[in-house]
Amino acid sequence: MPQAKSQKLEFVEPIGKRVLVRKDQAKRETKGGIALPDQAEIPTITGRIVAISTQIANDDDFPLRQYDKILFHPKNAIPVDLEHDNQLFVVPIEDVVAVFRREASTKKSNHKDEE
């Protein structure tokens, strides 16, 4: 009887309208430099996209790319237990509320240039 080998997962591919996010480290200090005790930790809801589902990648309505920094609502985020620090989460696209960009998005405008 063949023995089942344990397989190590190296990649998680989100399915449906979801993205895989590596959550940023929680803040332990305020902007003013005041150190916070562990129980007063400010919840962090930003992170970097690690992988995007095919459905999202092919949808022009969602301008997300791998490595984008995003702001997301953590309520429906599903933790992925692949790492010891549990910083990976599968996040439904409707819980991604913003993407951080260095430049404004260059979408086509319906307005005519004024002369």
How many CB atoms neighbour CB 71 within 10 A? 13
First to last CA, the chain: 80
The full set of domains in the chain, from first to last, is 18-100 (2.30.33.40)
Each residue of 35-69: pLDDT tens digit? 666 655 556 689 999 999 999 999 999 989 999 99
Q: Which two tokens stand for residue 47?
A: 């992170």
Instruction: Please give the pLDDT value at position 17.
Output: 94
Q: Give the model's pLDDT for residue 115.
A: 42
* Highest mean pLDDT, choosing among 20-29, 33-42, 54-63, 73-82: 54-63
The predicted pLDDT at position 51 comes to 94
Q: Count Cβ atoms within 10 A of the Cβ of residue 24 and give its class: 0-12 exposed, 13-18 middle, 19 or more buried.
A: middle
Residue 113 pLDDT = 46
Contacts for 28 with CB less than 8 Å, ≥ 6 apart: 35, 36, 38, 41
Asked whether the whole model's pTM tops 0.75, one would answer: no
Over residues 83-112, the mean pLDDT reads 76
